[in-house]
Amino acid sequence: MDVILRRHGLSTSAIRRSKRRPHGLLVDGEDIYTSYLVHAGQIVAILADDKAPSDIVPNEGPVNICYEDEDLLVVDKPAGLAVHPCAGSWDDSLGARLVHYYHQIGLAADFHPVHRLDKGTSGLMVVSKHPAAQHILTQALHSGDFLREYLAVCEGCPSPLSGTVDAPLGRTDTSYIRQEVRADGKSARTHYEVVQQGARFSLLRLVLDTGRTHQIRVHMAYLGHPLAGDFLYGTEDPDLIPRPALHSARLELTQPFSGRRLLFESPLPADMARLLEG
């Protein structure tokens, strides 16, 4: 049984918690140990519950849910909303809003994001409802089973019009937040393609092979074409756009238990589209 559970993506801690719960691990309705030898045709049931709930305080607020099933949610996060409670966003975050939503529908679930978006980044994001789904989806995050595509508006226009930035990233020596291209950094690879070229800005489609902090923002600045509105790696201009012009536009993933392929798209937000006018 232990081997089967691990092959289906359950972590050691999740299996351990299930064993400790009454009727947490069943075969054909009977309690068993993880050493039990399972036979073809038997029905296995495991209570893959949460560990101790997080300390996120629920907060009522809108959540644009694009998809929901018993294992996961796909949400379209607005720009300006932090994923987790943090400095400046202790009272309101995506996590706080989802915990409130779970309470409203009577769901005993905690906040389990599969990946994260910067506070200023808008668009699609996957959140699992329990640790087992989070574990499987996180394992698939940088594989062909989990594809993420971004849209960004950058200053100027990169040359060539498509290419790959393969440059390692690490934190700068003078800042806890700011990242930079550095030889001793972690491997980072970004594929880009110019979709629309304007007089001042260009619209890019980007796909990541890795998911480093601020990866797209740093790589585009490294090319000499920082994202419009990027206060950290480019030029801040709140009158133009009050955030880095980056949007999570497309997600394709495999449902962790049914195996069904899921595809979601989110259109370019109005504040980014305005940059391309004229």
Q: How far is CA 15 from CA 1, 112, 206, in A?
A: 10, 17, 38
Q: Is 239 a catalytic residue?
A: no
φ, ψ of residue 155 in degrees (nearest 5): -75, 135
> Token digits for 85?
């409670």
> Token digits for 81?
């909303």
Beta bridge partners of 113: 127
Q: How far is CA 23 from the centre of its chain?
A: 33
Q: Which of 110, 118, 230, 271 is catalytic?
A: 118
> Token digits for 197?
């070229």
CA distance 237 to 132: 42
Beta bridge partners of 151: 205, 247
CA distance 208 to 187: 12
CA distance 278 to 269: 17
Q: How far is CA 94 from CA 163, 242, 253, in A?
A: 33, 19, 21
CA distance 9 to 5: 7
Closest Cα partner for 118 from 139, 148, 93?
Answer: 93
Are 27 and 43 in contact by the 8 Å Cβ rule? The answer is: yes
Are 154 and 222 in contact by the 8 Å Cβ rule? The answer is: no
Per DSSP, the chain holds a count of helices (H) and strands (E) of: 6, 15
**Residues classed as catalytic:** 118
